[in-house]
Amino acid sequence: MAVVLPVYFSLRKTQLWLPWLTLASYFFYGWWNPYYLSLVIYSTFLDFGLVALMDHCPRERTKIDLKHRLFRLQFGDRVLKTAFLGAAIGALILLATALIGPPHVRPTLLVGSVLVFLMALGALFSSRRIWLWISLINNLALLLFFKYGRFVIENLNAVLTGLHVRIVARPIEFYAVRVDLPAAGGHLVFQPFNR
């Protein structure tokens, strides 16, 4: 804090204040636990990419000829066409990998394939609303899993034990690291929607 605030106040009238605060938050999370730095960077880049894709969508809802877009790939915007093709192929690859891959990564791959499929729909319909929903779903899923996943598992085990049910859910581990986010983890989830 002793370094971040003075630099922020000196940069606040320039365009460098936002990159400075972004780098400071990366340093904070990386110092606390380097594993979570990858989550913060992932969320930042996904939100940045989704906003960039929103800029290629019309502000007003327009009628779209889905036949031409889907079967002839006539989009009118190269970025949306590239996003659609990349997301559709990526979703198919993730889905195929989830079906034939190792059982312990199947849920993650299925969730990833749904997220990437939603991205293909966003490009297909040129919809800012779909891009916003993707960002919301992604950020809330990160928050719920990493902040409240252990809480849900522990309470589920307590209820099942109280009901004398022998099924016990295993604790959530992320590459053999206990999953807990710091108290400000929720701040990072809702920060992209502040503007």
pLDDT tops 50 at residue 151: yes
pLDDT digit string, tens, across residues 8-26 = 889 988 999 889 988 988 8
Read off the pLDDT band of 96 (50, 70, 90): very high
Pick from 12, 54, 57, 40: which is nearest to 191 by CA?
A: 40
Question: Would you mind telling me the total number of residues written for the chain in this entry?
Answer: 195
C-alpha of 28 from chain center: 20
Helix (H) or strand (E) holding 41: helix 34-54
Contact 8, 21 (CB under 8 A): yes
pLDDT, greater one: 115 or 146: 115
Mean pLDDT throughout 113-129? Answer: 89
Q: Look at 10-14, 100-104, 191-195 and tell me which has the smallest mean pLDDT.
A: 191-195
